[in-house]
Amino acid sequence: MNAPRSLSPLKVAIAGLGTVGAGTIRVLADQAALLTARAGRPVVISAVSARDRARERGVDLSAFAWFDDPVEMAKRAEADVVVELIGGSEGPAKAVCEAALGAGRHVVTANKALLAHHGVALAQLAEEKGLGLFYEAAVAGGIPIIKAMREGLAANDIHSLHGILNGTCNYILTTMRETGRDFEDVLSEAQELGYAEADPTFDIDGIDAAHKLAILVSLAYRVPVDLDAVTIQGIRHISALDIDFATELGYRIKLLAMAHKGAGGIEQRVSPVMVRLDAPLAHVEGVYNAVVTEGDFVGRNVFEGRGAGAGPTASAVVADLIDIARGNITPVFGVPVGALKAQPVEAPDGHVGRYYVRLMVVDRPGVFAEVAAALRDEKVSMETIVQRARDPGETVPVVMTLHDTEEGAMVRALDRIGASDAMVEPPRVIRIETF
């Protein structure tokens, strides 16, 4: 009887030893036996690179070859795979991936910005070299949404997808609702707790979620990754007052990434949305992420889990390493690069739906008549109106929900309303979605 064939270890070089890099080392060490059984061969680290060799990371690096230059490591390390965990769309991160693929090494990355800006070019290079470019950790942390979209849902045309893809924003909106505190106060707390960066722009302005949405849209609709096609709005303008009114009206506010294929093309949008309390995403709270897909054969699927952190993200990195160890190399965006075909982008002005509008007005005679006239002239119809009493001459919030209306018409009406000297701040608008 022949003895079982012994496979050589999969050798891994890691560029970037921050939270996720250290977490990946820990997972590979702690789960070594399990991973060997599941991969059919050992998965071992051979080399690492980071900016600061002396920094304490809570993991033992003594057994690994150290490279000060991650690009040189990508070229010269004894490795089958290079894991890029540096971050950023340009600079060393991009150079590491290009060097690794050029040297005949597979790449695993958690870098959504890199893929949103250069994903197609990197996919083309990987394809030409017969190599894998894996990125499960780039979208939704520990949720296996990339594998689900690329493989598990491969038999389906995806009609639409929407999700909570940024845990920082979800934490801020959840905490605002639970505590009644306003945006800036909760943002400061999120920074102190490490949920938000010192410069939180990418998170709170929706850019991080847009990077992730652009990747999911490519998988869902077989189009090149195109960040410019995503309409982006963040949560800076959401106030405790809006969250209070949303609760009163039976909704919760979430920053959602949404894509839908309509007659005019693919709509791609990141923006705050009011969702009903019975919607799948209404009760996804704190730093959790979730994605909902609608397929023609499978129907609705809901994926929920931790969207960031050392453990969940490292788990996704290692899942990709197991695929490589098994020899499961799949097209980067589900189909060969040549099969990615650009499609029209549906302009947001053409969207028809319901909206929440909050006006802060000076309570004086004739103001409501001005508002009603501007809406009437654009054929925008009010569904409900809520006005909280104030003494005459004081500032009062006026909240309306609108029947289904074209977004362009609503914007024109609100531009006219906002120009009135009775308005003390620009009108605040939030989509209402009935997922």
Q: Tell me, what CATH number does 408's domain have?
A: 3.30.70.260
Domain match, 201 and 289 both: yes
Q: Answer whether 260's CB lies under 8 Å from 249's CB.
A: no
Name which of 197, 165, 390, 370 is nearest 284 in CA terms: 165
Beta-bridge partners for 290:
164, 304
Domain match, 375 and 426 both: yes
The Cα 402–Cα 378 span in angstroms is 12
Question: What domain range is 27 assigned to?
Answer: 10-138
Name which of 102, 80, 107 is nearest 16 in CA terms: 107
Q: For the chain (length 435 residues), average pLDDT per consecutive 10?
A: 62 96 96 96 96 87 94 97 96 97 98 97 97 97 95 95 96 96 95 88 97 98 96 96 95 97 91 95 94 96 92 96 96 96 89 94 86 94 83 81 94 94 93 91
Q: What angle do CA 50, 80, 65 make, to 5 degrees?
A: 40
The predicted pLDDT at position 56 comes to: 85
Tokens of 159: 């009609």
The Cβ of residue 56 has, within 10 Å, a number of other Cβ atoms equal to 7
Domain match, 93 and 179 both: no
280: Cβ contacts below 8 Å, ≥ 6 apart? 290, 292, 300, 302, 435
Domain match, 289 and 208 both: yes
Domain match, 87 and 159 both: no
Q: Cα-Cα-Cα-Cα dihedral of 343, 347, 352, 358, to 10°?
A: 140
Q: What is the CATH number of the domain that holds 253?
A: 3.30.360.10
Domain match, 120 and 228 both: no
This prediction has a pTM of 0.93
Name which of 412, 367, 406 is nearest 385 in CA terms: 367
Please give the C-alpha separations between residue 328 and each of 112, 320, 419, in angstroms, as whole numbers. 22, 9, 59
Domain match, 163 and 113 both: no
Domain match, 414 and 279 both: no
The predicted pLDDT at position 387 comes to: 81
Q: Answer whether 308's CB lies under 8 Å from 287's CB.
A: yes
Place of tokens 């620009």: 426
Task: Write down the catalytic residue from 94, 112, 212, 254.
Answer: 212
Domain match, 274 and 359 both: no
Q: Cα-Cα-Cα-Cα dihedral of 318, 320, 324, 328, to 10°?
A: 140
- 212 in catalytic set: yes
Residue 313 in any domain: the answer is no
Residue 42 in any domain: the answer is yes
What is the gyration radius of the CA atoms in the chain, in angstroms? 24
Residue 343 in any domain: the answer is no
The predicted pLDDT at position 393 comes to: 62
The predicted pLDDT at position 135 comes to: 98
Q: Of 94, 111, 138, at which residue does a domain stop?
A: 138
The Cα 141–Cα 136 span in angstroms is 8
What phi and psi values does residue 223 have, to the nearest 5 degrees?
Answer: -120, 155
* Domains contained in the chain, number: 3
Domain match, 129 and 179 both: no
Tokens of 114: 């890199």
Tokens of 251: 């909704």
Rounded to the nearest 5 percent, the helix, strand and coil shares of the chain are: 40, 25, 35
**DSSP code for 3:** P
Please give the C-alpha separations between residue 209 and each of 133, 308, 392, 428, in angstroms, as whole numbers. 21, 13, 43, 21
Q: Of 138, 158, 190, at which residue does a domain stop?
A: 138
Q: Tell me whether strands 352-362 and 395-406 are parallel, antiparallel or unpaired.
A: antiparallel
The predicted pLDDT at position 4 comes to: 39
Q: Of 306, 327, 362, at which residue does a domain stop?
A: 306
Tokens of 43: 């998965």
The Cα 96–Cα 94 span in angstroms is 5
Query: How many CA atoms lie less than 13 Å away from 14 in the CB half-sphere?
Result: 26
The Cα 93–Cα 115 span in angstroms is 11
The Cβ of residue 139 has, within 10 Å, a number of other Cβ atoms equal to 29
